[in-house]
Amino acid sequence: MSQFAINVLFVGASFLLYIGIAIWAKAGSTKDFYVAGSGIHPITNGVAIGADWMSAASFISMAGLIAAGGYSNSTFLMGWTGGYVLLAMLLAPYLRKFGKFTVPEFIGDRYYSDNARLVAVICLIVASVTYVIGQMAGAGVAFSRFLEVDNTTGLIIAAIVIFFYSVLGGMKGITYTQVAQYCVLIVAYTIPAVFISLQLTGNPIPWFGFLSEHTQSGVPVLTKLNQVLTDLGFNEYTADVDNKLNMVLFTASLMFGTAGLPHVIIRFFTVRKVTDARWSGGWALVFIALLYLTAPAVGSMARLNIVDTIYPDGTDAAPIQYEDRPNWIKEWEVTGLIQFEDKNNDGRIQYYNDSESYADEAESRGWEGNEFSYNNDILVLANPEIANLPGWVVGLIAAGGLAAALSTAAGLLLAISSAISHDLIKGRFNPNISDKGELLAARISMAVAIVVATYLGANPPGFAAQVVALAFGIAAASLFPALMMGIFSKRVNNVGAMAGMLSGLALTLVYIFVYKGWFFIPGTANLPDTAEHWVMGISPLSIGAIGAVVNFAVAFAASRATAEPPQEIQELVESVRYPRGAGAAQDH
Amino acid sequence: MSGHSYDAENYWKANLRLIFGSLVIWFLVSYGAAMLFRPMLAGIEVGGTDLGFWFAQQGSILTFIVLIFFYAWRMNKIDEQFGVSEE
């Protein structure tokens, strides 16, 4: 069977499974549609959160980032998991107790302000739409590489599948498909890692393999990797970072952002009770960790494999002849994601860091510049080919990458459509709409959101690459503090919440736009986006944490200066704090 | 104030204490061991690298999992103790 046929088989089978689930789990009411009837088991919910959370970025890009940055990119590992500690202790149980359908609904009720709810809706939509574009674009890339269809055709196929299970089944359909998608993606991620770990270290568990001895050289994998990288003029893989302030702030932004992203929070509304919300936070992190603990192994081993491929006789010997390059390099060259240019015309691939400190060494070896470059995103996708694994593993990776992109896209689309149908249509324009009418409105908004996301995925605006900064910055600086203060402070009032959200948001957006261009329009940046121009060395990616601090400070100050919230709001805060709601309710 | 409300206050304080303790550990493993204190831990070797690197790439994630389960377990106990659990 050809590789193409194998890929079609794996992807096709997984899609049929998702559609089958959709038909089985049809939503009958708005409660089914928005929160799956609030009857999901905490472990099932943990699995679904895992798939919801792990996007194309986690599956495809993260290991590549770690391979390229080594220690410095550990921020993604800690940031995207540490946020769950905040979610499970500071937000999820209380929001579940509140017992409504959407995140803006809590903000609107708690701050007794339709305007606060509207600000939350806008934040939610901007964060989720930018995020969903990345997923659709990722699905398009996976389609075009593995199924040999063009990007747009691939996207339309993906959109039809998502349409099927999310419009029919709502949160109920999405939950059970996400469980299936999690299984596909985790198997797809783990199998190549196990094989590669066995090849390099003899240890079948990649988590331990990356800390064990490299069989060929007899030194630990990370020591070996540090050696070959410094031989070629690169930084040591485990080298420390000078700018710790920025590293701390970037990690904090990712953590606050993770806790404040609405598509993850609403997954906690699907469980039956408050204790289940606490447990599902733990289970979610277990299922996420199965991938996140493997990612550092995938990153380090792939980096070592790439160097070994190019320098088969060691970094002191001559690199490989271009004519003898392995098949995976040829295939990825076609996509333009691997590039080679024979600068010194010796027919060999020189791969090294052509920095000043390495200039003498390069000259003595007759090298005239680095000739080989690859896009970090290909690392996970090409991994099975780099390690010479059989064709079915490649098919599995294709299905896994698509599962990661589709499951996250569906979760985001549900958050968007429920904000539109529940917070805007029912909450603002037509409060008397019937349950049936609202369910129809929810389905229509979902369909429209899919069409818009597909269009934007096929024609990604210039800012698509900046998604991380924008989505996490908005969630960290506006939603996370507003939600947390709504639970932990009775004193923060409507004025404080609005002032806090808007100032946190303004600071974050302005700082990002100054370096990345206003509304990401090319050429409109005021300052170059490089470390020496950042205020106190703080990158625009790290500003969300400062935005959150500003939000907290402004909200407290403005609340102090104005009247305290009415009695019934203070009672609402009391009631979300107690699982049974005994406290305040029985006092009166 | 009735006795019940006093209890409710103590329940909330117990929750806050537990959260605070958990977040101290959350901070110490990620921002502490993995970043700020990494140079101080450089002498401790783990599988070809140093302890701080291991905390940055694996140790902190494992600690986070333990923290959430510990919190859920402790909170359920506290719920029962104060008679505010759901069933």
> What DSSP string runs through A288-342?
HHHHHTTHHHHHHHHHHHHHHHH-TT-TTSPPPBGGG--HHHHHHHHHTSEEE--
Question: A154-158, A269-273, A340-344: lowest mean pLDDT where?
Answer: A154-158
> A19 touching B, CB under 8 A?
no
Predicted confidence at residue A521, as pLDDT, reads 76
Q: Which of A293, A318, A151, A122 is nearest to A208 (CA)?
A: A293
pLDDT higher than 70, residue A584: no
Which of A68, A82, A85, A80 lies closest to B33, judged by CA? A82
Least confident span in A11-15, A103-107, A185-189, A518-522: A518-522
| Min distance A275 CA to chain B CA atoms (Å) | 7
pLDDT given for residue A466 in this prediction: 59
Domain with B23, as residue range(s), is: 7-81
User: Cβ–Cβ of B39/A574 closer than 8 Å?
Assistant: no
Torsion of the alpha carbons at A340, A343, A348 and A352, rounded to the nearest 10: -70
Residues B2-60 pLDDT 10s: 445 668 889 999 999 999 999 999 999 999 999 999 999 988 988 888 999 999 999 99
Half-sphere exposure of residue A290, counting CA atoms within 13 Å on the CB side? 21
Q: From A403, A397, A291, A401, select the one nearest A14 (Cα to Cα).
A: A403
Query: How confident is the model over A17-38, as pLDDT tens digits?
Result: 988 888 888 888 888 888 888 8
Which chain B residues are within 8 Å of A285, Cβ to Cβ? 61, 64-65, 68
Q: Using CB atoms, pick whichever of B39, B46, B60 lies closest to residue A211.
A: B46
Contact A275 B71 (CB under 8 A): no
Second-level CATH architecture of A3-300+389-580: Up-down Bundle (1.20)
> How many helices and strands (H and E) does chain B possess?
3, 2
- Chain A (279-318) residues lying within 8 Å, Cβ to Cβ, of chain B: 279, 281-282, 285-286, 289, 292-293, 296
pLDDT score, position A587: 34
For chain B, how many structural domains are there in total? 1
pLDDT over 90 at A194, yes or no:
yes
Q: At what angle do helices A295-310 and A62-69 cross, to 10 degrees?
A: 60
Q: In which region does residue A536 sit, left (phi positive, over 0), alpha (psi from -120 to 50) or beta (all else)?
A: left
Q: At B23, phi and psi to the nearest 5?
A: -70, -25
Distance (Å) from the alpha carbon of B81 to chain A's nearest alpha carbon: 13
Q: Inter-chain contact B36–A577, Cβ cutoff 8 Å?
A: no
Find chain B residues with C-beta within 8 A of A224's C-beta.
48
A585 touches chain B (CB under 8 A): no
Kindly tell me if the per-residue pLDDT of A566 is higher than 90: yes
Q: Is the pLDDT of residue A462 over 90?
A: no
Enter the DSSP assignment of A348. B
Range scoring the smallest mean pLDDT among A382-396, A552-566, B71-85: A382-396
A374 forms bridges with which residues in the sheet?
A338
Would you state the pLDDT for residue A277? 94
A371-384 per-position pLDDT tens digit? 999 888 888 888 88
Interface-testing mutation among A66, A85, A94, A247, with chain B (most B C-beta atoms within 10 A): A85
Contacts of A286 in chain B (CB under 8 A): 65
**Inter-chain touch B36–A580, beta carbons under 8 Å:** no
Average pLDDT, chain A: 89
> Which of B6, B27, B57 is most worth mutating to test chain A (most A CB atoms within 10 A of its CB)?
B57
Q: Is residue B75 part of a domain?
A: yes
Residue B31 lies inside a defined structural domain of this protein: yes
Distance of alpha carbon A190 from alpha carbon A536, whole angstroms: 40
Mean per-residue pLDDT, A356-368: 89
3-state secondary structure of A551: helix
Residues 6+ apart with CB under 8 A from A181: A14, A18, A51, A403, A404, A406, A407
**Looking at the domain assignment, is residue B1 inside a domain?**
no
What is A62-120 written as a DSSP string? HHHHHHHHGGGGHHHHHHHHHHHHHIIIIIHHHHHHHT-S-HHHHHHHHTT-HHHHHHH
Distance CA A554, CA A491 (A): 13
pLDDT at position A47 is 95
Is residue B15 helix, strand or coil?
helix
| pLDDT given at position A271 | 93
Residue A357: pLDDT band (50, 70, 90) is confident
Q: Do B71 and A88 touch (CB under 8 A)?
A: yes
Measured in angstroms, the CA of B59 and the nearest CA of chain A are apart by 9
CA distance A106 to A95: 8
Q: How confident is the model at residue A586 (pLDDT cuts 50, 70, 90)?
A: very low
Which of A82, A211, A286 lies nearest to residue B48, judging by beta carbons? A211
B20: in domain: yes
* Interface with A, mutate which of B46, B62, B64 (most A CBs under 10 A): B64
- Smallest Cβ–Cβ distance between B22 and the set A74, A89, A582 belongs to A89
Name the residue with higher pLDDT: A217 or A86: A86
- Per-residue pLDDT, A348: 93
Given this model, what pLDDT does residue A582 score? Answer: 37
Query: Using a CB-CB distance cutoff of 8 angstroms, which residues of chain A are in contact with residue B5?
Result: 583-584, 587
Out of A81, A89, A240, closest to residue B38 by CB: A240
Instruction: Tell me what pLDDT residue A248 has.
Output: 96
| Contact of A107 with A486, CB cutoff 8 Å | yes
pTM over 0.90: yes
Contact status, residue A255 vs residue A480, Cβ threshold 8 Å: no
- Would the CB atoms of A278 and B35 count as touching at under 8 Å? no
Chain A residues 488-547 with CB within 8 Å of chain B = none
Residue among A238, A579, A587 minimizing CB distance to B84: A579
DSSP class per residue in A132-150: HHHHHHHHHHHHHHHS---
Which of A264-268, A462-466, A519-523, B18-22 is the least confident region? A462-466
